[in-house]
Chain A
């Protein structure tokens, strides 16, 4: 226990927590949107995240040929390379998510089997993805070359902001805003909301259920992929099981905010990022996962609908 660190390191902890929180926000979209539509947990989302991190690493290492010794990039080339990594990550994660839906959920949905069967097949797909990558990479962790030189760009009293932190926060906020607008304004977004309210009725209204569900998985997967890219920019490391603890944390964030609720995922993600960062500073990093788990159990015990479950009902996916 070390409470003095909270006082002495308050601002860095707050900023790192916020950055981590914004990454969680994007990942928890992958959980919350799928849950909103299917009423099922997307168990493979942590593996979709893992696929995204590997896509980022592979593009920057093998496609552009960067390694640990390359100098950081500047100007247009930096934007171009980061953009390519981001696109690859979002694309790969999105495609993986759609494939997961087809393999794990679609057939079972058509058959009308019970929920347990879908859950088990989703677990199975998640294991296949994780183990496939483990065998391909021989369980070796891969590091992402540093493309962006990390410097502190803002100095305002005790607050110091690094450029990658700013990138994460700004970028994640923009993406979240876009998804939120997309779901509330476009036709497809309306269809997604309709399916989440009542599957049967929306079918009667002529909504193509399979297409809407695929689109939901695609959007959720792409957001998870973007989070994977941001994660790689900040933490620069990945492994076949990178998704496990992050997936659990993002799911907790989704539950904390009220699963199936977009704005809830936003607040939940931020709250969890801050909580995790402060808990790691006070209790030590090895107890981070335990804290997250305790929060999950406590939320389920006292407020199973999440902190914002009822209040922001209008913004349900």
Chain B
């Protein structure tokens, strides 16, 4: 099968610096202007039948891509199966809702608090479970995702089953307003966060943590024997992923101005996992592609909408059986070997 990722990587390597810069600038400009893409008659097909195109671009598309990138660090990079990613999303969202309505902090001040709390819960959950084999982690995270929802339903401070309304919108930044009638502001905020995550993941991947995660993913026992402090790096991966989920939650709560336990079901975890697996575990561009397709298509083609989860289940099984590396697979190992040989020849 064709490997688009390797094709793209080869093209990229052949380009010189100005060419690369131009490409990145044009791409960024196009993505930044995406909220206006539905306004013209020739691009009418982009518009979605129920919710407005701009709203869909923020949630689910942007939000899913952001969360899929976060989950990709856990599942794709380090090979830990997290089935309760929604828990961190919920923790971020409820932090924003509670602090936003009860205190005078604005959303930008709450954002780091929400990320911190999500990260903390990631560490607390990871410490007992990351010592064990991967499948225990899967079931414990599955339970954790559900527990967070149950606690939210049965707690008075989280508004019980009714949730919390009137979560404030973030104050304006650089003249960009954030409100329900001005969705592009939220899209740009998510875009900035996505870019930050991409930058962070790319930096981490080529440094010690990235190599440690790669080793853990390939064979944890060998990694441990080679002196990789596996538990520490697994907890790092887990809590960085959690922090990104928490950040997405804070923005989500202030975007929809309302949180309720029903928004944070197991389905969301499955969705995000499908995005990661569908696009290609471990590859940023694959995950972005997967997230975009799986978030946008069910909104555009309404009849899938009811059977959305079913489609995602099918996608998981078929992808794993037919093309386990996803649409855009990660870099092939042979290429790394080749690079290694060249390095020794020099």
Q: Which A residues lie at the B interface, using CB under 8 A?
A: 40-41, 43, 103-104, 107-108, 113-121, 123-128, 130-132, 134-135, 244-245, 248, 251, 255, 286-287, 289-290, 292-293, 296-297, 300-301, 304
Other than the known A103-B317, A300-B128, what 17 A-B pairs have Cβ atoms closer than 8 Å? A41-B138, A43-B139, A115-B134, A117-B320, A117-B324, A120-B81, A125-B313, A126-B313, A127-B312, A127-B316, A128-B310, A130-B309, A131-B307, A134-B309, A245-B146, A290-B151, A297-B128
In the assembled complex, which residues on chain A have CB atoms less than 8 Å from the CB atom of B150?
286-287, 289-290
Q: Is B189 an interface residue (CB 8 A)?
A: no
- Nearest-Cβ distance from residue B283 to partner chain A, whole angstroms: 15
- Nearest-Cβ distance from residue B262 to partner chain A, whole angstroms: 13
Question: Which of A116, A286, A301 is the one whose CB lies under 8 Å from B79?
Answer: A116
Question: Which of B136, B266, B321 is the one whose CB lies under 8 Å from A121?
Answer: B321
Main secondary structure on chain B at its contact with chain A? Answer: helix
In the assembled complex, which residues on chain A have CB atoms less than 8 Å from the CB atom of B307?
131, 135
- Nearest-Cβ distance from residue B143 to partner chain A, whole angstroms: 4
Instruction: With A41-B135, A131-B307 as known contacts, state yes or no: A108 contacts B128, CB within 8 Å.
Output: no
- Cα A255 to Cα B132 in complex, Å, equals 12
- Cα A309 to Cα B144 in complex, Å, equals 24
In the assembled complex, which residues on chain B have CB atoms less than 8 Å from the CB atom of A244?
146, 266
Q: Does B144 contact A293, Cβ atoms closer than 8 Å?
A: yes
Interface residues of B in 249-285 (CB under 8 A from A): 266, 270, 273, 277, 281
Q: Does B306 contact A289, Cβ atoms closer than 8 Å?
A: no
- Nearest-Cβ distance from residue A129 to partner chain B, whole angstroms: 8
In the assembled complex, which residues on chain A have CB atoms less than 8 Å from the CB atom of B277?
120
Instruction: With A125-B313, A131-B313 as known contacts, state yes or no: A41 contacts B321, CB within 8 Å.
Output: no
Instruction: With A125-B317, A300-B132 as known contacts, state yes or no: A113 contacts B324, CB within 8 Å.
Output: yes
Q: Does B317 contact A128, Cβ atoms closer than 8 Å?
A: yes
Q: Does A120 contact B310, Cβ atoms closer than 8 Å?
A: no
Q: Does B140 contact A296, Cβ atoms closer than 8 Å?
A: yes
Q: Does B151 contact A123, Cβ atoms closer than 8 Å?
A: no
Residue of B nearest to A126 (CB): B313
- Cα A289 to Cα B173 in complex, Å, equals 43
Q: Which B residues lie at the A interface, using CB under 8 A?
A: 75, 79, 81, 83, 125, 128-129, 131-132, 134-136, 138-140, 142-144, 146-147, 150-151, 153-154, 266, 270, 273, 277, 281, 306-307, 309-310, 312-317, 320-321, 324
Q: Does A296 contact B143, Cβ atoms closer than 8 Å?
A: yes
- Cα A103 to Cα B314 in complex, Å, equals 11
In the assembled complex, which residues on chain A have CB atoms less than 8 Å from the CB atom of B135?
40-41, 115, 119
In the assembled complex, which residues on chain A have CB atoms less than 8 Å from the CB atom of B75?
116
Q: Does B317 contact A300, Cβ atoms closer than 8 Å?
A: no
- Cα A304 to Cα B75 in complex, Å, equals 23
- Cα A292 to Cα B140 in complex, Å, equals 11
- Nearest-Cβ distance from residue B141 to partner chain A, whole angstroms: 11
- Nearest-Cβ distance from residue A123 to partner chain B, whole angstroms: 6
Q: Does B314 contact A128, Cβ atoms closer than 8 Å?
A: yes
Residue of A nearest to B127 (CB): A301
Question: Which of A104, A120, A286 is the one whose CB lies under 8 Å from B273?
Answer: A120
Q: Does B316 contact A124, Cβ atoms closer than 8 Å?
A: yes
Residue of B nearest to A40 (CB): B135
- Cα A121 to Cα B317 in complex, Å, equals 5
Q: Does B313 contact A127, Cβ atoms closer than 8 Å?
A: yes
- Cα A2 to Cα B107 in complex, Å, equals 40
Q: Does A289 contact B147, Cβ atoms closer than 8 Å?
A: yes
Residue of B nearest to A132 (CB): B310
Q: Which of A113, A117, A126 has the most CB of B within 10 A?
A: A117
Residue of A nearest to B274 (CB): A124
- Cα A132 to Cα B151 in complex, Å, equals 28
Q: Does B79 contact A114, Cβ atoms closer than 8 Å?
A: yes
- Cα A124 to Cα B83 in complex, Å, equals 12
Q: Does A287 contact B143, Cβ atoms closer than 8 Å?
A: no
Residue of B nearest to A113 (CB): B324
- Cα A304 to Cα B281 in complex, Å, equals 29
In the assembled complex, which residues on chain A have CB atoms less than 8 Å from the CB atom of B144?
293
Instruction: With A124-B316, A290-B150 as known contacts, state yes or no: A116 contacts B310, CB within 8 Å.
Output: no
Q: Does B310 contact A121, Cβ atoms closer than 8 Å?
A: no
In the assembled complex, which residues on chain A have CB atoms less than 8 Å from the CB atom of B138?
41, 43, 119, 123
16 pairs from A and B in contact (CB 8 Å cutoff):
A108-B321, A118-B320, A119-B81, A120-B320, A123-B316, A127-B310, A131-B310, A135-B306, A135-B307, A244-B266, A255-B136, A289-B143, A293-B144, A296-B139, A296-B143, A297-B128
- Cα A128 to Cα B317 in complex, Å, equals 9
Q: Does A104 contact B317, Cβ atoms closer than 8 Å?
A: yes
Q: Does B317 contact A124, Cβ atoms closer than 8 Å?
A: yes
- Cα A41 to Cα B136 in complex, Å, equals 8
- Cα A68 to Cα B142 in complex, Å, equals 36
